[in-house]
């Protein structure tokens, strides 16, 4: 009975200390951030006395590091030298992967290979030269290699723009693949912006996970590759080239 009582007191003390530390960190953050910034989570890091704090100001989650005493904030990347791992981007990859899971097959435009083994997600814009190059040159080669390409829309000019109306019309078309391919080849399609199109949700969630331009490629593990890449380079990164075991 005494052992149980002692253990209970230990756990209660630890909980109180954790609450105090969390309150201290939140108070410290409130001194240097705006009122709309919300603390999503506070976690330990491999560094003694440094906490990982995930915050959200309404446009997506950001990761900061703060000393346990609330005196210092680090806005940057935490890198594991021995294992050569970017711990900050590793956490962001998890966030991106979980976010993309919110979009099912019907909300994307999917270019399927004959024998699908892997997939890649691409945030795309109609009025983007490298997006067209990726679609015309890279996507067919990825399909041949067994990689499904999952398109999400990201009209860089915003949701009140000609780019939005063009890409929304592709998502609203009866044959979405043909419509998107026509636009990528600079061929006009009939404007048809249906009310239930998912382009706005793509755009807003894209912003939340750090998409700022197009094309933006996200691998199966959530890793972000901004910009155009030829198929051979992507397949090497994914471990699917002839010299890999993937």
Instruction: Evaluate whether 109 touches 170 at the Cβ level (below 8 Å).
Output: yes
In the 8-state DSSP scheme, what is residue 236?
H
Instruction: Evaluate whether 61 touches 39 at the Cβ level (below 8 Å).
Output: no
Q: Which of 27, 71, 32 is nearest to 49 (CA)?
A: 71
194 is catalytic: no
Out of 89, 128, 150, 172, the active site residue is 128
132 is catalytic: no
Out of 89, 96, 108, 131, the active site residue is 131
Q: Which of 207, 241, 210 is nearest to 225 (CA)?
A: 210
Out of 89, 96, 125, 150, the active site residue is 125
User: Which run of H or of E encompasses 62?
Assistant: strand 61-67
172 is catalytic: no
Phi, psi of 56 (to 5 degrees): -140, 120
Phi, psi of 201 (to 5 degrees): -65, -35
125 is catalytic: yes
Both tokens assigned to 175: 């044959």
CB atoms within 10 A of CB 53: 22
Task: Taking each helix axis as running N to C, give the angle between helix 199-208 and helix 162-172, from 0 to 180 degrees, rounded to the nearest 10.
Answer: 120
Q: Which of 25, 84, 15 is nearest to 49 (CA)?
A: 25
Alpha helix locations (H) across 87-219?
87-100, 129-133, 139-144, 162-172, 176-184, 199-208
Bridge partners of residue 246, in order along the sequence: none
d(CA 180, CA 151) in angstroms, rounded, equals 10
Out of 132, 150, 156, 172, the active site residue is 156
Report, as residue numbers or ranges, the catalytic residues: 125, 128, 131, 156
């Amino acid at each position: 009975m005494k052992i149980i009582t002692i253990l209970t007191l230990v756990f209660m003390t630890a909980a109180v200390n954790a609450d105090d530390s969390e309150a201290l960190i939140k108070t410290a953050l409130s001194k240097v951030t705006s009122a709309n910034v919300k603390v999503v989570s506070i976690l330990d890091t491999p560094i003694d006395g440094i906490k990982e704090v995930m915050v959200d100001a309404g446009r997506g989650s950001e990761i900061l590091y703060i000393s346990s005493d609330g005196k210092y904030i680090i806005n940057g990347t935490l890198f594991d030298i021995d294992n050569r791992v970017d711990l900050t981007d590793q956490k962001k990859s998890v966030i991106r992967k979980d976010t993309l899971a919110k979009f099912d097959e019907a909300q994307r435009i999917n270019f399927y290979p004959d024998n699908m083994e892997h997939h890649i997600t691409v945030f795309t814009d109609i009025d983007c030269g490298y997006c067209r190059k990726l679609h015309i040159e890279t996507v067919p080669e990825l399909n041949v290699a067994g990689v499904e390409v999952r398109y999400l829309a990201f009209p860089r000019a915003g949701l009140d723009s000609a780019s939005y109306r063009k890409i929304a019309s592709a998502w609203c078309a009866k044959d979405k693949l043909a419509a998107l391919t026509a636009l990528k080849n600079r061929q006009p399609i009939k404007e048809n912006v249906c009310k239930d199109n998912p382009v706005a949700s793509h755009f807003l969630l894209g912003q939340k996970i750090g998409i700022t331009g197009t094309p933006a490629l996200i691998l199966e593990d959530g890793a972000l590759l901004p910009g155009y890449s030829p198929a051979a380079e992507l397949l090497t990164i994914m471990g699917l080239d002839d010299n890999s075991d993937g």
